[in-house]
Amino acid sequence: MRKHLLSIDDLSADDMQTIFETAAEMHDVQRRDVKKLPALRGRTVINLFFEDSTRTRSSFEIAGKWLSADVINLSAKGSSASKGESLRDTVLTVTAMGVDGLVIRHSASGAAQQVSEWVSCPIINAGDGTHEHPTQALLDAYTLQRTLGSLEGRHVAIVGDLTHSRVFRSNVKSLVKLGAQVTAVAPPTLMPSGVATWSKEAGFTTAYDLDEVLAGAHGSVDAVMMLRVQRERMSGAYFPSAREYTVGYGLTRERLGTLREGAPILHPGPMNRGLEIAADAADAAQSVILDQVSAGVAVRMSVLYHLLAGPTEGVTP
């Protein structure tokens, strides 16, 4: 496994399976009375969040703590960054305290990669702009694998605001790597630029018509991943109204009825109930949205363990 987890590109399919196997063990720890493993005892992990995210931050925090690491949350939003301090200075200041691993969330694409070039400790990307969110994709794939078994040949439809989604970018890479077939569905305005060439090279397909996809135009759909769509996109002229979006791309009660029985429904959260996903779909028996959250801790424990438990060159002040 590579030193950092900046992108799904850093992982091979074998690496992913290793992470999943460990995550399965971590999942058991979650159910124990004593939710603690000593693997990262004495190690310090800093959650450096330049962008608000309660769920991802707490997921990493719990993961680190259950592995006995000292976890410190630093919210850099509105602090030094807004005072004009450069990203490099902020990060060097933080790591100068003596840190064994940095978990970074930033609203700018590429931030985690840039940081990895400035510091010597392992960097885990907890979401960078609209680029990647690798641990989300890992927990999604882990959840899918627990539900569907091997993803080889399975067909996953990813639906929503693809262009602004780091979850999409990481997921399309991880699912293709695990042998799944991916159909990415969005209106043309929410497709990433140049997706025609990209999809051809990366081995996924795109579609504008969700109903056709669910009806099997690209093969029977084994799982549906709904992505959050932000209401402010309407002011950017990406689509006319919430109503029109739901009719075209929402997982409505009607569409829920067309899904194969037991086909898992995923959503990275937070959900806009009634916009991209109907309450019936979110709460359906086949919805694995809460399993995703619980898998999140296990997968992040696994990632922290594999990146930080072994020999690392910590940053010494």
Partner 1 sequence: MTSLLIKGARILGGAAADVYVDGGTITEIGSVDTKADRTVDAEGLVLLPGLVDLHTHLREPGREDAETVLTGSRAAALGGYTAVLAMANTSPVTDTAEAAERVHDLGRAAGLVDVQPVGAVTKGLAGEELAELGLMARSRAKVRVFSDDGRCVADARVMRRALEYVKAFGGVISQHSQDPALAGPTACCHEGELSGRLGLPGWPGVAEEVIVARDVMLARHTGSRVHVAHVSTAGSVEVIRWAKAQGIAVTAEVTPHHLLLTTDLLAGYDPTFKVNPPLRPDEDVEALREALADGTIDAVATDHAPHARHDKEHAFVDAAFGMLGLETALGVVSTVMVGSGRMDWAGVARAMSTAPARIAGLDGAAPDGAGGHGRQIAVGAPANLTLVDPSATWVVDRAESASLSRNNPWHDRKLTGRVHATFLRGVPTVLEGALVR
Partner 2 sequence: MPTQIPVEDGRVVLDAEDVSRALTRISHEILERNKGADDLVLLGLHTRGVPLAQRLAAKIEAVEGATVAVGSLDVTMYRDDLKSQPTRTPHRTSVPGGIDGKAVVLVDDVLYSGRTIRAALDALSDLGRPSVVRLAVLVDRGHRELPIRADHVGKNLPTARTEKVRVRLEETDGGADEVRITGGAQ
Active site residues: 55-56, 83, 105, 133
Q: How far apart, in whole angstroms, are the C-alpha atoms of residue 56 and residue 147? A: 22
Among 32, 55, 231, 253, binds partner 2 (CB under 8 A): 32
Among 44, 53, 130, 206, binds partner 1 (CB under 8 A): 130
From the list 220, 191, 230, the residue with the least C-alpha distance to 208 is 191
Residue 139 near partner 1 by CB under 8 A: no
Provide the 10 A C-beta neighbour count for residue 165: 24
Residue 204 near partner 2 by CB under 8 A: no
Among 3, 10, 18, 110, binds partner 2 (CB under 8 A): 18
Residue 232 near partner 1 by CB under 8 A: no
Q: How far is CA 17 from the centre of its chain?
A: 16
Residue 242 near partner 2 by CB under 8 A: no
Among the listed ranges 34-42, 104-112, 119-127, 133-141, the one in contact with partner 2 (CB under 8 A) is 34-42
Q: Which does 38 bind (CB under 5 to 8 A by kind): partner 1, partner 2, none?
A: partner 2
Q: How far apart, in whole angstroms, are the C-alpha atoms of residue 69 and residue 66? A: 8
Q: Which does 74 bind (CB under 5 to 8 A by kind): partner 2, partner 1, none?
A: none
Q: How far apart, in whole angstroms, are the C-alpha atoms of residue 282 and residue 271? A: 9
Q: Compose the 145-184 pattern: x for residues touching partner 1 by CB under 8 A, - for all others.
A: ------------------x--x--x---------------
Q: What is the dihedral of CA 31, 33, 39, 40, to 10 degrees?
A: 100
CB 66, CB 39: distance < 8 Å: no
Which residues in the chain belong to E strands, given as ranges? 44-49, 70-75, 101-106, 123-128, 155-159, 181-185, 205-207, 223-226, 265-266
Nearer to partner 1, 238 or 245 (CB): 238
Q: How far apart, in whole angstroms, are the C-alpha atoms of residue 171 and residue 165? A: 10
Using CB under 8 A, list all residues that contact partner 2: 18, 21-22, 25, 28, 32-34, 36-39, 67, 305-306, 309-311
Using CB under 8 A, list all residues that contact partner 1: 86-89, 106-111, 113-114, 128-132, 163, 166, 169, 192-195, 197-198
